[in-house]
């Protein structure tokens, strides 16, 4: 892959991908889900685990919505509306989590 690549790169969180412009780089949702699940399972519980659990539920809904679309159960406009709502909810919980300090994340 070189600088002329015009597509979107989906990757894990390895720093070697940091050179890719943000508008051309998507983190792998499976890796995101794994990290959120680790936070939800955090033995300290509390606010961190609560927010991460909400984000895990939204990630599950994201995968479910995508699979339903791919199986032809949702038309494109309904798929986009549902994904937009999921994005808004995800953003809401990410904002709620900005006051949570976790060393690893």
pLDDT of residue 90: 97
Q: Could you report the per-residue pLDDT of 31-69, keeping only the tens digit for each?
A: 999 999 998 998 677 888 999 999 999 999 999 999 999
Q: Could you report the per-residue pLDDT of 68-82, keeping only the tens digit for each?
A: 999 999 999 999 999
Mean pLDDT of 10-39: 87
Q: Is the four-CA dihedral 48, 52, 43, 34 of positive or negative sign? A: negative
| pTM assigned to the model | 0.79
pLDDT of residue 105: 47
Query: Would you kindly state where each structural domain of the chain is located, as residue ranges?
Result: 32-99
Q: Is the four-CA dihedral 61, 63, 66, 72 of positive or negative sign? A: negative
Could you list the beta-strand ranges (E) of the chain.
9-11, 25-27
DSSP for 45-67 reads -HHHHHHHHHHHHHHHHHHHHHH
């Amino acid at each position: 892959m070189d600088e002329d690549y015009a597509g979107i790169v989906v990757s894990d969180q390895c720093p070697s991908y940091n050179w890719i412009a943000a508008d051309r780089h998507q983190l792998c949702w499976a890796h995101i889900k794994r990290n959120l699940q680790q936070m939800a399972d955090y033995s300290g519980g509390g606010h961190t685990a609560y927010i991460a659990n909400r984000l895990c539920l939204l990630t599950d809904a994201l995968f479910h919505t995508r699979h339903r679309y791919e199986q032809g159960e949702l038309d494109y406009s309904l798929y986009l509306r549902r994904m937009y709502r999921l994005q808004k909810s995800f953003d809401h919980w990410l904002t709620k989590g900005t006051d949570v300090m976790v060393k690893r994340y």
